[in-house]
């Protein structure tokens, strides 16, 4: 089985600090650059699972690169270079403390809230009589607070964001504008691939000169939910679950093995066969979402490869 990168302890040229997230490790370089290492760690139910998934980090990093390039005419983004299959180098900025979640369909968290009787989600009114996976008349933005230290993100309304001064009115207006436009572009691209972009989240930051930019990843199977367009209407009419293109299959496997991240529950054993099957599924996701053939990076010594590629780029460009 191919090797995976689950831990990164790099010393990059000009490195000042490092933040270790569930999947991504972000290195601050000289105060004006960030080097984001996308690991092969797999997270579900806010828990990092014990084994890495070969090529998963490459899949996420390269989908995000393509998606950001496909939307840079709408909103500038943080990417400067991708010197390694698992690494993106970009502009340092101050992230906004909200995630702009946008939903085109009633599914996932929104459906669970709706099914429980709620008709207002993040300040957005939902009409009666909707069914699971039904398309909204117009996409709806349902923001969340950006959690620190691995805590759960929390639903919040636009009104509360402005009232609490989390984001200024002018900046929030731009975030809304960008969110609707990028989602529309993502929807068009997905349609060309026979997919439906169901919902997703975008994160934004502001550079030192005041420019709002799109950061992190977009339109990946970890940040977005896709349905297959073929059969959608028939499944909706018959109350059948939609075919999804996301990491939902991992969550379902965990649920079937009695794990949902709750106290006292134990992560089920991840056999080599299961790990390999998840790796193959992520590669399938890449090829379906991008329409390109996935080219596996050399994983014989991933850490050395990343170290050489990133430090080589920094020495040549700093």
Q: Is there a domain that residue 154 lies in? A: yes
Residue 105 lies in a domain: yes
pLDDT value at residue 245 = 82
Rounded to whole angstroms, the Cα distance separating 18 from 25 reads 7
Q: In the prediction, which pLDDT does 206 show? A: 96
Establish if 2 belongs to a structural domain: no
pLDDT of residue 163: 97
Question: What tokens appear for 172 in the block?
Answer: 């929030």
Residue 133 lies in a domain: yes
Residue 147: predicted pLDDT: 63
Q: What is the CATH number of the domain that holds 137?
A: 3.30.470.20
Q: Given this model, what pLDDT does residue 249 score?
A: 83
How far is Cα 78 from Cα 98, in angstroms, rounded to an integer?
A: 17
pLDDT value for 95: 94
| Structural domain harbouring 164 | 95-245
Provide the pLDDT for residue 92. Answer: 93
253 in a structural domain: no
Domain annotation covers residue 73: no
Instruction: State the burial class of residue 295 (Cβ atoms within 10 Å of its Cβ: 0-12, 13-18, 19+).
Output: exposed
pLDDT tens, N- to C-terminus, the chain (318 residues): 689 999 999 999 999 999 998 899 999 999 899 999 999 999 988 899 999 999 999 999 999 999 999 999 999 999 999 999 999 999 999 999 999 999 999 998 899 999 999 999 999 999 999 999 999 999 999 999 976 655 567 999 999 999 999 999 999 999 999 999 999 999 999 999 999 999 999 999 999 899 999 999 999 988 999 999 999 999 999 999 998 888 878 888 998 999 988 889 999 999 999 999 999 999 999 999 999 999 999 999 999 999 999 999 999 997
198 inside domain:
yes
Confirm whether 251 is domain-assigned: no
Give Cβ neighbours of residue 232 (< 8 Å, ≥ 6 apart): 196, 242
Tokens 């080589």 correspond to what residue? 312
Contact 158, 192 (CB under 8 A): no
pLDDT value, residue 251: 85
Q: Domain total for the chain? A: 1
């Amino acid at each position: 089985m191919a090797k995976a990168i689950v831990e990164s302890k790099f010393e990059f040229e000009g490195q000042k600090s490092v933040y270790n997230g569930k999947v991504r490790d972000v290195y601050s370089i000289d105060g004006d650059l960030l080097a984001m290492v996308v690991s092969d760690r797999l997270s579900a139910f806010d828990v990092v699972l014990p084994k890495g998934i070969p090529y998963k980090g490459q899949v996420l990093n390269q989908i995000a690169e393509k998606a950001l390039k496909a939307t840079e005419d709408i909103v500038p983004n943080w990417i400067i270079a991708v010197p390694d299959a698992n690494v993106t180098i970009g502009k340092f900025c101050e992230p906004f403390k909200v995630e702009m979640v946008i939903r085109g369909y009633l599914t996932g968290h929104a459906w669970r809230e709706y099914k429980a009787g709620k008709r207002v989600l993040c300040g957005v009114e939902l009409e009666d009589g909707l069914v699971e996976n039904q398309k909204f008349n117009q996409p709806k933005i349902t923001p969340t607070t950006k959690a620190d230290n691995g805590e759960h993100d929390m639903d919040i309304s636009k009104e509360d964001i402005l009232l609490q001064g989390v984001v200024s009115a002018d900046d929030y207006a731009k975030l809304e504008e960008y969110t609707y436009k990028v989602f529309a572009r993502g929807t068009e691209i997905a349609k060309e691939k026979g997919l439906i972009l169901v919902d997703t989240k975008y994160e934004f930051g502001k550079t030192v000169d005041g420019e709002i930019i799109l950061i992190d990843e977009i339109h990946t199977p970890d940040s977005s939910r896709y349905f297959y367009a073929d059969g959608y209407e028939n499944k909706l009419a018959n109350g059948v679950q939609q075919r999804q293109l996301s990491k939902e299959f991992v969550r379902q496997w965990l649920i079937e093995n009695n794990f949902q991240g709750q106290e006292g529950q134990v992560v089920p054993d991840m056999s080599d066969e299961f790990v390999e099957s998840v790796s193959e599924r992520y590669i399938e996701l890449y090829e379906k979402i991008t329409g390109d053939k996935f080219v596996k990076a050399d994983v014989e010594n991933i850490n050395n490869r990343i170290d050489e590629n990133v430090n080589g780029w920094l020495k040549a460009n700093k």
